[in-house]
Amino acid sequence: MPLPRRKPKPPRRKPKPKPKRQFNPDKIAALLNKVPEENRNRKPEPAEPPRKGAPRGVDMKLTMSELDALRAQISQCWSPPIGVEDAQNLQIRLKLRLRRDGSLAGPPELVNSNPDPLFEIAAESAIRAVIRCQNYQLPPEKYETWQDVRVTFDPREMFER
């Protein structure tokens, strides 16, 4: 039995070429003239306002030496519990909210957790150290930067000294 013949496909249509646009500065000028007069001379507002206390609109950050100084102040008060020097990946992260005088505005907040039984003991000792070491010596002009600080306690780093 002969196979039915297929219908021939119609030839593809070639897309019509688009007419080339000519640059016309008068059309741009006409669009610019549609901007209301009160908006023409307005300066664009910054995307994010500068933080309070930042001079000349510059957002200030704590330098590494200032962060190291804070860590040094806290580490002087921290005595990791016996047995944690061998604990792997036992890092305690605390969030601190500080007042302008460097004292705590509230209790330190534990940010992470760990199933290791030594973790709770180490976390409690870190919290005690933060409370015992206050008032922290930090640059008052950068208060907006350091009023909320996160600190990581790592016993392995303590025992490397």
The full set of domains in the chain, from first to last, is 63-159 (3.30.1150.10)
Distances, alpha carbon 80 to alpha carbons 76, 84, 98, 107, 124, in Å = 11, 7, 23, 19, 10
Stretch 141-154: mean pLDDT: 88
* Per-residue model confidence (pLDDT) at position 53: 38
Share of the chain above pLDDT 90, in %: 19
CA 132 to chain centre: 28
Q: How far apart are CA 135 and CA 104, in angstroms?
A: 8
Instruction: Give 160's contacts (C-beta < 8 A, 6+ positions apart).
Output: none
Banded model confidence at residue 41, pLDDT cuts 50, 70, 90 = low
Residue 60 in contact with residue 54, Cβ under 8 Å?
A: yes
pLDDT attached to residue 104: 94
pLDDT tens readout for residues 53-102? 333 333 357 788 888 888 888 888 888 777 766 666 688 899 999 999 99
Is residue 59 within 8 A of residue 46, CB to CB? The reply is no
Would you place residue 46 in the very low, low, confident or very high pLDDT band (cuts 50, 70, 90)?
very low
What does each C-alpha distance from 149 to 37, 98, 128, 145 come to in angstroms?
A: 47, 8, 16, 8
Q: Which two tokens stand for residue 156?
A: 């392995």
Q: Is the dihedral of CA 129, 135, 138, 140 positive or negative?
A: positive
Question: What predicted TM-score, i.e. pTM, was given to this entire model?
Answer: 0.58
pLDDT tens, position by position, 27-36: 655 555 554 5
User: What average pLDDT score do residues 112-127 get?
Assistant: 87
Q: Return the CA Rg of the chain.
A: 33
> Which residues 6+ apart lie within 8 Å of 14 measured at CB?
none
Per-residue pLDDT, averaged over 111-137, amounts to 89
Mean pLDDT of the chain: 74
